[in-house]
Structure 1
Amino acid sequence: MNIVIVESPAKAKTINKYLGSSYEVLASFGHVRDLPAKNGSVDPDSNFKMIWEVDPKANSRLNDIAKSLKGATRLILATDPDREGEAISWHVLEVLKEKRALKDHKIERVVFNAITKQAVTDAMKHPRQIDGALVDAYMARRALDYLVGFTLSPVLWRKLPGARSAGRVQSVALRLVCDRELEIEKFVPREYWSLVATLTTPRGEAFEARLVGADGKKIQRLDIGSGAEAEDFKKAIEAASFTVTTVEARPARRNPQAPFTTSTLQQEASRKLGFAPAHTMRIAQRLYEGIDIGGETTGLITYMRTDGVQIDNSAITQARKVIGEDYGNAYVPDAPRQYQAKAKNAQEAHEAIRPTDLSRRPAEMRRRLDTDQARLYELIWIRTIASQMESAELERTTVDITAKAGARVLELRATGQVIKFDGFLALYQEGRDDDGDDEESRRLPAMSEGEALKRKDLTVAQHFTEPPPRFSEASLVKRMEELGIGRPSTYASILQVLKDRGYVKLEKKRLYGEDKGRVVIAFLENFFARYVEYDFTADLEEQLDRISNNEISWQQVLKDFWRDFIGAVDDIKDLRVTQVLDVLDEMLGPHIYPPRTDGGDVRQCPTCGTGKLNLKAGKFGAFVGCSNYPECRYTRPLAADGEASADRVLGKDPETGLDVTVKAGRFGPYIQLGEQKDYAEGEKPKRAGIP
């Protein structure tokens, strides 16, 4: 008997059918051991010795595996084909050794990129041993995450009451969100104006042209800064005669995007389907592990944690066949398309995400899948097919127009684009995170040099520059990938942790940095700046890749990291909480104290009028309070612009004639009768909590 170990029962059930009665496939249900969540699980003084603990839920499963080995001759470890999969196989093997369940068993490691009968049976013919370098890289990553979490979190608790925790990669992702918030708060809008004329050809065809120059000078987007300047140009255009100066038509090609990696799948599923990255990965996992198709369970897509963009030659051949059948030979390029990963630190050991059989068209699969599975399968199928289709052939046209008004010469420009051959655009166009005004997509009428034009209309519009947009989940994953932060297996979980801890919130598909998260990041940027630097985190990822390539020792990477990190922790151990709060108060000023509409002092206490507002810490986190405490008990949350943070008068108390006000305190909203000034010295205003 051959015992095969995989992660999930769904995968086990599918593979058992493929391999037959001489194999028994058992599931480990994911990781079976981890570092216990307590001090001492990683010991830097003993060459980073790790103490592993078996998950209580995994005990019975491991006992079942050990029992099944009694009548077997071979143990085949068939967990996922990546660093985490290698680690699970290693953990299972180590536990079985401790249980002395292995005698003369032959131990083999097999990997497959898809759960289909052919892929699994082929993998069984090419076994190998556990890759020690991949396991080392896993251990280094796990130790780094543990050391940062268990060393930094207590520092946070002591110096920043109410803070929850800090993680190695999640803190850097949080910094991206919070730095964007600060950019938005500091942003000063700039006024600018645009002038767009609607012109007609002698044949009566209308099109739009934008003012781009005047009196020999170019006019850029922000150059017209006032209504008076715009009015001046408007009068000139209204009095002008228009002539076509040049017509330039240039051919252009647009090539299809590469097939999906984990990152691009999460981005596109977010844009096109509205899926959160974690939801995308759950559905992809199901499609990978297998769906019942006509009585046989088979995996519908290849492994979904990958940063490779190439696909197997047999899949390329099949894609070209499908394109020819569905769209005609004009849509099949002369040579198959080959792709190379652009992402920083990309490891290209795995294929891109693609359907295991491209002849399974989305329309036919719809009745076999639930709604979300069908939508994600269709997205993956379309992207894969489009990646092997012919390029789109375009013609981009630029028309320059001279407008003469007396002694003044103005220049206008119209741009447009015509699709001569749609190619892959017949099937697919990648989504965008931020919709912009795409003038080039307009089609222009035929014109020739020297032709006179007439003005039909003129639009003079006032605009203001806008701050950079907040990240969507898709654009944050994209930015993390560009910076080399995280890995395909971690993008979704990083975002989930930030949301679960209340560090960010998702609103209208945009990520907002919450006060809790803002304070933590401000603390880290001031006192542990190096460890939330993008380059530092990406360099560490690169070191982990080098470990997995057997180029450097995992203990050496940990030694280098720990020496500097523990030094930074020691440097701030004597800092008082008040010193920390003063630094954060300064850094978060634009967020905590936005400009007042009356132009007054942003830090003046609205209750007593003489005290200054500053950052304070309570056991539930940071809040803003008055410097005249305890005489003045004014408090509010950090954000000063939310409705919840503003005092609201409900009415007057009929007995005393005092205002009854809803106030926001650090423990939540409450009702107060009158203000401090309405009471005798030493007497506190009457208050009641709102349940």
Structure 2
Amino acid sequence: DLTAVLATEGGDTFLALYPVGEKEKFSLENERSATEVLERVRPGPWTVAEVRKSERRRKPPAPFKTSTLQQAGSSKLSLPTWKTMKIAQSLYEAGHITYMRTDSTNLSNDAMGDIGRLVEAQFGKNYHQPRSFTAKSKGAQEAHEAVRPSSVALTPSDLAGQLKGDDLRLYEMIWQRTVASQMAEAVYDATSVDIISNGVTFRATGQVLKFDGYMRVYLERGDDDPEEVEGLLPELSEGQVLNLEELTPEQHFTQPPPRYTEATLVREMERLGIGRPSTYAPTVQVLINRQYIRAESRRLFVTPRGEVVTELLETHFPEVVDVEFTARMEEELDEIAEGDKRMAPMVSNFFGSFSAHVEEQKDKMSRPERPTDEICPDCGRPVVKKFGKHGLWFLSCSGWPECKWSKQLDEAGNVLPDPEGTGEECPNCGSELVAKTGRFGPFVGCSNYPGCKYIKKEPPKETGEICPDCGEPLVERRGRFGPFVGCSNYPKCRYIKKDPKKKTSKKKSSKKKTSAKKTTGKKTAAKKKAAKKTKPRKTTPSTAAPEDPSPAPTS
């Protein structure tokens, strides 16, 4: 493509592009043809051939439902879907918003009246335009209202003292979207200008906002709306001569579809009818927690574990992983809810056939293994590519377990470098100790593994504190329940430093209030129960130690 930077006599600049339109999209086949056009148009003159203007209107988006709330939380606030729902849950429990698991975009008449009065008071009557919305998603049940503020009169600034950080940002977004849904359309002029130089037409496009309407409150690019209003073009007229500031050729390549974000994945799940508002965020979180996908710069990437699991499921359970399966299941559940089907026969039929299929396939499924062109350097047998239990591929001799040669691969499938020697000798077998990386991080172990499974334990780091029981230094340790501080003289001294307990004054006061409500006839029994509750219990001294907290060595 060719991009021309043009300027008016007054100094206003704008961009014009060639080729123009879909028919001419591939007219510049190679660098040579682009150079020919460039040399042809460079001398000019550059003249405005035609100016076209048309008024366009842009409607506000509907109030939030669960899926669009999660999408906007991701694209506008950079929140993962689970966190958006967690914050929405806390806002709902505090009485600030309506129920947040809904596939409805409806607003009650009372809410629409409150919003209308607020819009007219704050922005004027010309900004108010009542409208109703209906859900367009597949299988929408619309059992609840849209996600909206419980009271639209409670503005984000009113809650600034109660809500902080992401809580306030999410409430503000919900408030803005709800108010915007009852405001007038935005109006703008779409302008298209054709400029000719030596018979070659370039085109400049732009949009000029005439009336902001709902955009005065809420503007979003992405999830539900078309692209935002473009930049301004200077006033141009037919026959006007322009100055060429710069002319540059640019090569464009066909781009693959962008990777999913959490927002676009939820949108696709909704489009396909997979799941319900309450299951969108948990489904995405399960995929991440099980390491089937990973998030990087908000984009979702499939991991080797995810690829292997998908391949096995598509091979052995194609009906279950079909994208239509969940949608069909949801439809049947809807029919049960409406009384058109009975639940027990439907569940029995599915469970019976699925259980039989699992029994049939379980002996056919095995850990994936793929052939390679490599030969084992130890025994000369072929090398195969196996999928490890920690979610990565590795190279192994096909003669295993007789030959134990193997090489670990990284996530991209490249061979990891050999472990670097430390110059130390293994105290068990005399082989050299090497620096390795395991599933719990870097460590130093014997190079003769698996023949020798020695792992060097680094001395624990001292905290600068003294053990109150034996006077030895306290050190940082890690056990099966996480990091802790304990005595360096373990196991002779089993002292473990405990974190201070949280105060429970609120709970005590609530118990007093509850007991005060009891009737006079029950006072004696209440006192006896209280006496039993306050009976002193045997306490365990702080020096009592649990099992050995030190981690088991891993290879």
2:442 is the alignment partner of 1:442 = no
Contact 2:424 2:433 in 1 (8 A): no
Tell me by how many angstroms 1:350 deviates.
1.1
2:241 is the alignment partner of 1:452 = yes
Give runs of aligned pairs for residues 502-517 of structure 1, distance below 5 A. Answer: 502-517=291-306
Contact 1:671 1:687 in 2 (8 A): no
2:219 is the alignment partner of 1:429 = yes
Q: Which amino acid aligns with 2:181?
A: S
**Superimposed CA distance per residue, residues 190-220 of structure 1 (whole angstroms, 9 cap, x where no aligned partner):** xxxx321011234443210111159xx9332
For residue 371 of structure 1, what is the aligned residue in structure 2? 165
Cα distance in 1 for residues equivalent to 2:435 and 2:368: 27
Q: Which amino acid aligns with 1:304?
A: M
2:90 is the alignment partner of 1:265 = no
2:345 is the alignment partner of 1:556 = yes
2:206 is the alignment partner of 1:416 = yes
Q: Which amino acid aligns with 1:423?
A: G
Tell me by how many angstroms 1:493 deviates.
1.6
The CA RMSD over aligned residues, in Å, is: 3.7
Contact 1:195 1:210 in 2 (8 A): yes
Tell me by how many angstroms 1:515 deviates.
2.4
Contact 2:19 2:27 in 1 (8 A): no
* Equivalent residue for 1:484, pick from 273, 282, 285: 273
TM-score by length of 1: 0.58
- After the TM superposition, which of the residue ranges 259-268 and 508-517 deviates more from structure 2? 508-517
Contact 1:268 1:431 in 2 (8 A): no
Cα distance in 1 for residues equivalent to 2:441 and 2:373: 22
* Equivalent residue for 1:640, pick from 412, 416, 422: 412
Contact 1:396 1:440 in 2 (8 A): no
Higher relative contact order (CA 8 A, sep 6+): 1
Contact 2:119 2:128 in 1 (8 A): yes
2:131 is the alignment partner of 1:337 = yes
* Equivalent residue for 1:361, pick from 126, 151, 155: 155
Tell me by how many angstroms 1:400 deviates.
1.8
Q: Is the partner of 1:252 in helix, strand or coil? A: strand
2:85 is the alignment partner of 1:289 = no
2:287 is the alignment partner of 1:498 = yes
**Superimposed CA distance per residue, residues 353-401 of structure 1 (whole angstroms, 9 cap, x where no aligned partner):** 1111111111111112233322222111111000100000011111122
Cα distance in 2 for residues equivalent to 1:611 and 1:203: 78
**Superimposed CA distance per residue, residues 266-317 of structure 1 (whole angstroms, 9 cap, x where no aligned partner):** 1112222222222222222222223xxxxxxxx2211111000010011001
Distance 1:684 1:352, change over 3 A: closer
For residue 141 of structure 1, what is the aligned residue in structure 2? none
* Equivalent residue for 1:615, pick from 385, 398, 404: 385
Q: Which amino acid aligns with 2:396?
A: C
Contact 2:46 2:197 in 1 (8 A): yes
Q: What is the aligned length?
A: 450
Distance 1:653 1:410, change over 3 A: farther
Q: Is the partner of 1:219 in helix, strand or coil? A: coil
Cα distance in 1 for residues equivalent to 2:453 and 2:194: 70
2:24 is the alignment partner of 1:219 = yes
For residue 386 of structure 1, what is the aligned residue in structure 2? 180
For residue 301 of structure 1, what is the aligned residue in structure 2? 97
Q: Which amino acid aligns with 2:368?
A: L
Cα distance in 2 for residues equivalent to 1:316 and 1:212: 48
Q: Is the partner of 1:364 in helix, strand or coil? A: coil
Contact 1:649 1:662 in 2 (8 A): yes
**Superimposed CA distance per residue, residues 213-253 of structure 1 (whole angstroms, 9 cap, x where no aligned partner):** 59xx9332x66464444333332332443232221111111
Q: Is the partner of 1:478 in helix, strand or coil? A: helix
Cα distance in 2 for residues equivalent to 1:460 and 1:612: 52
For residue 14 of structure 1, what is the aligned residue in structure 2? none
Q: Which amino acid aligns with 1:209?
A: A
* Equivalent residue for 1:255, pick from 54, 59, 74: 59
Cα distance in 2 for residues equivalent to 1:412 and 1:440: 21
For residue 195 of structure 1, what is the aligned residue in structure 2? 2
Q: Is the partner of 1:524 in helix, strand or coil? A: helix
Contact 2:59 2:186 in 1 (8 A): yes
More helix by share: 1
For residue 13 of structure 1, what is the aligned residue in structure 2? none
2:40 is the alignment partner of 1:246 = no
**Superimposed CA distance per residue, residues 575-624 of structure 1 (whole angstroms, 9 cap, x where no aligned partner):** 262xx625xx59xxxxxxxxxxxxxxx85479779776543255555632
**Superimposed CA distance per residue, residues 307-339 of structure 1 (whole angstroms, 9 cap, x where no aligned partner):** 000100110011011011111111112xx2010
For residue 78 of structure 2, what is the aligned residue in structure 1? 274
Q: Identity percentage over the alignment?
A: 38
- After the TM superposition, which of the residue ranges 545-554 and 194-203 deviates more from structure 2? 194-203
Distance 1:337 1:576, change over 3 A: closer
For residue 114 of structure 2, what is the aligned residue in structure 1? 318
Contact 2:410 2:416 in 1 (8 A): no
Q: Is the partner of 2:158 in helix, strand or coil? A: helix
Contact 1:647 1:664 in 2 (8 A): no
For residue 186 of structure 1, what is the aligned residue in structure 2? none
Q: Which amino acid aligns with 2:128?
A: V
**Superimposed CA distance per residue, residues 491-543 of structure 1 (whole angstroms, 9 cap, x where no aligned partner):** 12222222222322233223232222221111111211121111121121121
Distance 1:455 1:353, change over 3 A: same
Q: Which amino acid aligns with 1:197?
A: A
* Equivalent residue for 1:581, pick from 362, 365, 368: 368
Q: Is the partner of 1:311 in helix, strand or coil? A: coil
Cα distance in 2 for residues equivalent to 1:365 and 1:688: 59
Cα distance in 2 for residues equivalent to 1:435 and 1:639: 37
* Equivalent residue for 2:394, pick from 618, 621, 624: 624
Q: Which amino acid aligns with 2:185?
A: S
Distance 1:415 1:570, change over 3 A: same
TM-score by length of 2: 0.71
Contact 2:54 2:190 in 1 (8 A): yes
- After the TM superposition, which of the residue ranges 629-638 and 318-327 deviates more from structure 2? 629-638
Greater C-alpha Rg: 2
Cα distance in 2 for residues equivalent to 1:350 and 1:363: 27
Q: Is the partner of 2:239 in helix, strand or coil? A: coil
Cα distance in 1 for residues equivalent to 2:7 and 2:391: 64
Distance 1:360 1:489, change over 3 A: same
Cα distance in 1 for residues equivalent to 2:6 and 2:156: 46
